[in-house]
Structures are given as structure tokens and as C-alpha cells.
Copies of this chain bind each other. A is one copy, B any other.
Amino acid sequence: MTERSDRQNEIASVAARLFRQKGYAAVSMRDIAASMHIKAASLYNHITSKQDVLALVLMDLAASFTQGITTIDAADIAVSEKLSRIIKLHIDLTIQNPHAMASLNNDWMHLAPEALERFTEQRDFYEETLRRIIRSGIEERIIHPLNEDLIVFSLLSTLRTLYLWYGRKSNLSEQKLRVDLTAALLNGIVKNS
């Protein structure tokens, strides 16, 4: 895996936007090319296949999540602080890559077999790490003793689909988003629990 050229990054950026709108399968190489004002064949001077474009869109972002949660998990901090930082990680990466987040959720199954395996490995690792954090929180009596898988997926469902509505509705600042989202996810929305 060599360094990515500027043009490759442009392709990945344009493709991510289109993938988000219509999904990987509904976007043609001619669509991507037209958005760059070139012809489809010209794309192949920079990439080797359509699946390669998808990998360009996904794999860096997936690696950022892997690296992010690894760092957080290794830190010597309380479980609740780890969770707060994980929420912030998702917010930061979503703001930086809103379009690619859609493909991360919906298009990853169209990766070529080798890339697909690397992707699912990272995804499994991420979920497993988060589950370990949740479990230790339950053992420390810091987290309510609910089903731990349920907690993991309840958190991830919201965090992974942040891209769907950040920026669309009442444009709250990144800071208020983080504070309110952390409160909603960790402390709940109903009073006097």
C-alpha cells in the first residue's frame, strides 16, 4: 500500500459523496468521472477498479476508528471517561468525513474479498473493544447491569449514523452536540431515573 496521490484523494472524495447519495452499486464510473469533468476511462490512470475506489473511501477511515479506540482503551482513565472520548471520536471523524461514514455503514459489503476481510476484522475488533469496556463498567458497578450487547449496539447505532443528521437540523455547535449527546447516551433522557 503506497502513498495516495492527490488525484486519488479527489476521486475518493467525489466518490464518497455519490456513494452516500445513491449507494455504491447505483453509482457508475461514468458518474464519478462526470463529477470530475473527465471521462470514465481516465479514472483508470489513477485507480485499478471500482472496488479499489471503494477501498480508498473506506479503509483510511476504518483505520482511524481502530487507532482511536485503541488509544482510548489503553489510557489509564475511568470507564465513563473512555465512553466520553469514544463519543468524541465518532463526532470528530463524522465531521471530518461525513460522506465516507455512509459507505462505512452501507457499502462495505461490496469491498473486494481481501479488503472485505481486513474491514470486518477491524469492525469486529472495534465492537469487541467497546464491549470489554462496557463489561468492565458493569463489573465496577458504574454501568447499569443491562445486557451488554444491547448497550454496545445502542451506543453504536447512534454514533454510526451521526452523519445522517449532523448539520441538517438546528445547527448546534460541535461542543453542544458533544455535551448533549454524551448526556443523552450515558445519563438517559428521562429525569429521576
Binding site for B on A (CB under 8 A): 21-26, 80, 83, 106-107, 109-110, 134, 137, 141-144, 146-147, 149-151, 153-155, 157-158, 160-162, 164-165, 169-170, 172, 176-177, 180-181, 183-191, 193
Q: For A185, what are the chain B residues with a Cβ–Cβ distance below 8 Å?
A: 154, 188-189
Chain B nearest Cβ from A107, distance in angstroms = 8
* In the complex, chain B residues whose CB is within 8 Å of the CB of A149: 165, 169-170, 172
Residues of B within 8 A of A161 (CB): 153, 157, 160-161
Closest to A134 in B: B189
* B180 close to A187 (CB less than 8 A): no
- Given A187-B188, A189-B144, also A180-B26 (CB < 8 A): no
4 closest A-B pairs by beta carbon, nearest first, are A188-B188, A25-B26, A187-B193, A25-B25
- Contact A143/B191 with A25-B25, A153-B169, A177-B150 known, Cβ cut-off 8 Å: yes
Chain B residues within an 8 Å CB radius of A137: 190
